[in-house]
Homo-oligomer: A and B are copies of this chain.
Amino acid sequence: MATFQSVVDRFTSLSISPKVVDHAPVKNNAEWSEALGQCDQASLPSSYVLTKTLVLKPKTAKTAPVTPVMVVALEATETNMSALGKKLSLKDLRFANEDLLSSFFGVTKEATSPFALDNVSAENISNVHLIVDAALFTVAEGTLIGFHPSASEKTSFLTLEEIRKYLESSSAKYTEVDFKALAAEAPAAKPQQPKAPKAAAKAQKPKPEEDSVKIGIEYRKEVDFPKWYQQVVTKSEMLEYYDVSGCYIIRPLAYNIWKYITDFFDAEIQELGVENTYFPMFVSSKVLEKEKDHVEGFAPEVAWVTKAGSSDLEEPIAIRPTSETVMYPYFAKWIRSHRDLPLKINQWCNVVRWEFKHPQPFLRTREFLWQEGHTAHLTKELASEEVFQILDLYRQVYEDLLAVPVIKGIKSEKEKFAGGLYTTTVEGFIPTTGRGIQGATSHCLGQNFAKMFNITVEDPNAPANAGDDAEAKKLFVWQNSWGITTRTIGVMVMVHGDDKGLIIPPRVASTQVIVVPCGLTVKSTDEDRRNVEEGVKEVVKILKSVGVRAKADLRENYTPGYKFNHWELRGTPLRLEIGPMDLAKKSTLSVRRDNGKKAPIPMASLATDVPALLQTIQKDMFANAKAVRDAHVKYVTEWKDFVPALNSRCSVMIPWCEEVQCEDDIKEKSSRNEEQEDEAEDERAPSMGAKSLCIPLEQPQDKPIVPGVTKCAACGADAKRWTLFGRSY
């Protein structure tokens, strides 16, 4: 196998000494970028680009010699395989499998780079088609080019001259290919079609206008969704990557959204008689492990503190992944009589779930912020009533605040909360990826935890014949728990954002209106400037006086265009432009972030028109998102239509039997296991199987399930209810 040392030796023999940086081992380019982001930035070149090295194999007769194609390209280059195959007159180019990589190039998929060419035997080297991206040779002077030196946990940064030197020293002769020109010749890839070549996902947006080059989003939402998302959340300054993996910094723009959510939800639950408290984040292992199903659900993700200062703790102490077992021993102490019911408490806090899956900003993070409500009731009915009250508040958070449509429903047995009785959920949907996402859950825990933690009262409704028999009168309380997290922010970004960046609904925007001075030129007089500035300030003052969160952007040295991009990237719902002409007409020009519509608003009616327009934007954002979501829910009654519906990026509603085995089968039958996959999963056409998202509370009225007649679309047994299935986060 290729080793890092052999690569270093080769560099030495070429008299080149590239900078080499160590980082976490990575599996694909997304992880690579993240790993570098987590390095000490001072150790990295001030300017660099990453590359990808793909090894492809044409379809050939089994007896023919292997003639692999190695493509060395800039990471962002769209390497259209079918166009390349056509150009090279090779048939059915596909990704080479690990065996070929290992036997032919002596390298693993993760660590592949042109340096693996050194491992190809002399008799084989002439069979290699070496293709180098023409864009690589246009990299600016001073910008270094990153490759894995046959080790996925390292990056060597070479100058263009150095990589050219290397390529020219190799026995494999390379061909320069202009992939952009190639793509223009080839028929356009159809991104909607799941069968489109996966590498098409790597398309970079054409360079945007000069003004926005530095601050704008370089990836298109529809083309490379993961990179788009990563850029939107970081460039908008919502979030910053952090040097502990799976943890992220929530910056003010995002934190403020969370604050609007907490303020709304907290006021609502106070009305329901819920009181706020704060429990310690540490749990002893004894207490954590008290409820078996529950701890099994969380144990693999629990973080353990074992040391303080330089002393080892006598027993490891867990950090709460959730607080059922933290709180309920005290419920047992505090609940002495049915008069202490209902007990309703809530806390706003951080929790830790040390996920080993690929982390994702807001959606899957090792530490996150949430509220967790925990309540105890005398009867199941009272508990259930609250479960649905809370569920509707969660719907309101998504629909009324974030303008994100959700479907209220009940989780299947397989998907419910570990240790609980039943789980209700609000399910969101990300149209770009066609994947469902759990928005927030409200659980009825039943009496299971009460039994484990011995939370009882004397039943006030015990039958008279119970007499003094304490056991007969003992009643285990009915409990609920419910939570909503900072995931909300990520869902909002994914649903509303566009190629210019964030779009924040007015209700959760800390800056609802940005007022920008415009129309000043070199010919403008100082008086013009002063007047425009005064006008801008006046507009802000008027808006603030009616409770609109408005701000002026009076920064000097920036063009209006730069400012437009700046605030568009940050999702500000409305922009008002004011220039000398507007002043003369006593008017302003409004530009909506959600749909770009422009309309003049007279100064005189700003105080009424702007609040009304913000309401309209809020309403329109929800209506549009709902129309898109609705178009992505397919009603299917026969299995043959199920996977095609999924593959068209839809969630699927089927009459369902509600059996666990059937759900397992659906997942299995709907996952696509292709032989060779691109290392970076194509977000637009995921291969994962579908799971049940929820059994909607609101069943379709026009397609009633007829008991004993309507059959499960998956297994043919009797169907119980329409159930929403989908690929999901």
Q: Which residues of A contact B (CB under 8 A)?
A: 41-42, 240, 242-244, 247-252, 255-256, 258-259, 275-284, 287, 299-310, 316-317, 319, 329-330, 332-333, 345, 349-350, 354, 356, 366-367, 369, 454
User: Which residues of B have CB within 8 Å of A243?
Assistant: 284, 287, 329
CB-CB < 8 A to A244: which residues of B? 280, 282-284, 317
Chain B nearest CB from A554 CB (Å) reads 13
Closest to A311 in B: B356
- Docked complex Cα distance between A278 and B251 (Å): 7
In angstroms, Cα B275 to Cα A250, docked, is 11
Q: Looking across the interface, which residue of chain B has its beta carbon closest to that of A301?
A: B309
Q: Residues of B contacting A303 with CB < 8 Å?
A: 305, 307-308
**Cβ–Cβ contact B309 & A300, under 8 A:** yes
- In order of increasing CB-CB distance, the 9 nearest A-B pairs are A308-B354, A247-B280, A252-B275, A304-B307, A300-B309, A250-B278, A244-B282, A306-B306, A303-B305
Distance in Å: Cβ of A722 to nearest Cβ of chain B: 37
Most buried by B among A287, A302, A304: A304
**Which residues on the B side are within 8 Å of A248 (C-beta)?**
280
Closest B-chain residue to A275, C-beta based? B252
Q: How far is the CB of A549 from chain B (nearest CB, A)?
A: 12
Nearest chain B CB to A456's CB is how many angstroms away?
A: 12
* Chain B residue at minimal CB-CB distance from A557: B339
Q: Known A-B contacts: A251-B277, A256-B276. Give 16 more (CB < 8 A).
A: A240-B333, A244-B283, A247-B280, A249-B278, A249-B280, A249-B330, A250-B278, A252-B275, A252-B277, A278-B369, A300-B310, A301-B308, A302-B308, A304-B308, A308-B356, A309-B354
Interface-centre pick from A248, A259, A308, A330 (highest chain B CB count, 10 A):
A308
Kindly list chain B residues whose C-beta atoms are within 8 Å of the C-beta of A333: 41, 240
Rounded to whole angstroms, the CA-CA distance of A277 and B316 in the bound complex is: 30
A704 to B319, CA, bound (A): 54
| Cβ contacts A to B, 5 pairs, < 8 Å | A240-B330, A244-B280, A247-B282, A301-B308, A308-B356
Residues on B with C-beta less than 8 A from A278 are: 249-250, 255, 258, 369
Residues of B within 8 Å of A281, CB to CB, are 350, 367
Instruction: Give the shortest distance, in Å, between A106 (CB) and chain B (any CB).
Output: 27
Tell me, in angstroms, the Cα distance from A252 to B250 when the chains sit together.
Answer: 27
Inter-chain contacts of A330 with B (CB < 8 A): 240, 249
User: Quick check: A305 and B319 within 8 Å, CB to CB?
Assistant: yes
In the bound complex, residues from chain B placing their C-beta under 8 Å from that of A307 are 303-304, 306, 316
Residue on B nearest A315 in the bound complex, by CB: B244
Q: For the complex formed, measure the closest distance between the CB of A83 and the CB atoms of chain B, giving whole angstroms.
A: 40
Name the one of B240, B247, B350, B356 contacting A350, with C-beta atoms under 8 angstroms: B350
A279 touching B42 in the complex, CB below 8 Å, given contacts A240-B330, A308-B301, A354-B308: no
Shortest CB distance A183–B (Å): 36
B contact residues around A369 at 8 Å (CB): 278
CA distance A708 to B301 in the complex (A): 65
Q: What separation, in Å, do the CA atoms of A454 and B40 have in the docked complex?
A: 12
Complex CA–CA separation, A41 to B454 (angstroms):
11
A302: chain B residues within 8 A (beta carbon): 308-309
